[in-house]
Amino acid sequence: MEKKNLGQRNMISSKKIYLDMCDKIEHLVYEPGQEISEKELCEQYGSSRHMVRTALAKLRDRKLVEIYPHRGTFVSLIDLDYIESIMFIREAVEQETVRRLIEMKDIRPLYHALQANLRQQGEALLGTITPTDEYFALDAQFHDLMREFAGVSSGIMDIISDPYIHFRRWRNLELRHTVRSLELLSQHREIVDCIASKDLEKAHKLVHNHINSISYYDSFMAKDKEQYFTH
């Protein structure tokens, strides 16, 4: 009996399974529409069916999987309407951030910080056409710096932090089949230039084009990936 209890205590938790599955779904290890086997997950994680089902229930609540009784569990298809709603909020925050920065009297500390970040972004893209996790971390830092200097509360982004994984999944899928890495970096540079020159109208247009990646949907669909999306 003691050995059995010890084994149960060493069993991986449902939370760790859930977090690992979130990461794999976000990075397309599990693609949209792919079936997930409970049995295989139990073997993979060395865990009980109860732990796996608890993790899958959390993924379902986060809209990352669909569970159909007697049919199985499937990775959720990408819902662009849902992502567009998330990005609507995100763009509103970024547009207000840019407005505040342009109204600042002295942006030199921000300008130097952003230029250093842009240099790192360029280095992260050397020799690759597909942005890496390192690049995306620098991308996030770029926008964090702007919001911080603009005095935008970090709590604002917390509102969309949980559903934002759906955008990241779309972004990873899009960038797997399109070449936009250098375009993203170029847009960052142009936004900084507009802030420095206090060109609010142009900055707002750039921010819109930078964030509204859903506009690339039609060209992406031409690459025969329609099965990944809701209809």
pLDDT digits (tens, 9 = 90+) for 19-69: 999 999 999 999 999 999 999 999 999 999 999 999 999 999 999 999 999
- Residue 125 confidence (pLDDT): 87
Query: How big is the CA angle at 64 (ends 60 and 68), to the nearest 5 degrees?
Result: 50
How far apart (Å, rounded) are the C-alpha atoms in residues 92 and 170?
Answer: 20
In DSSP terms, 73 is beta-bridged to 36, 67
Residue pair 220/197 in contact by the 8 Å Cβ criterion: no
Q: 213 pLDDT exceeds 80? A: no
For 80-228, CATH number? 1.20.120
Q: 131 pLDDT exceeds 90? A: no
For 2-75, CATH number? 1.10.10.10
Query: How big is the CA angle at 145 (ends 142 and 151), to the nearest 5 degrees?
Result: 145
* Secondary structure letter of residue 13 according to DSSP: P
- Residue 226 confidence (pLDDT): 76
Q: 224 pLDDT exceeds 60? A: no
pLDDT in tens, 148-203: 999 998 888 888 889 999 999 988 887 776 667 788 899 999 999 999 999 999 99
How far apart (Å, rounded) are the C-alpha atoms in residues 37 and 50?
Answer: 14
Question: What are the domain boundaries of the chain?
Answer: 2-75, 80-228
Residue with tokens 């290890």: 29
Query: Which has the closest alpha carbon to 191: 182, 179, 200?
Result: 200
The predicted model scores a pTM of: 0.84
- What is the arithmetic mean of pLDDT over 79-84? 91
Q: Where are the beta strands (DSSP E) in the chain?
A: 35-36, 65-68, 72-75
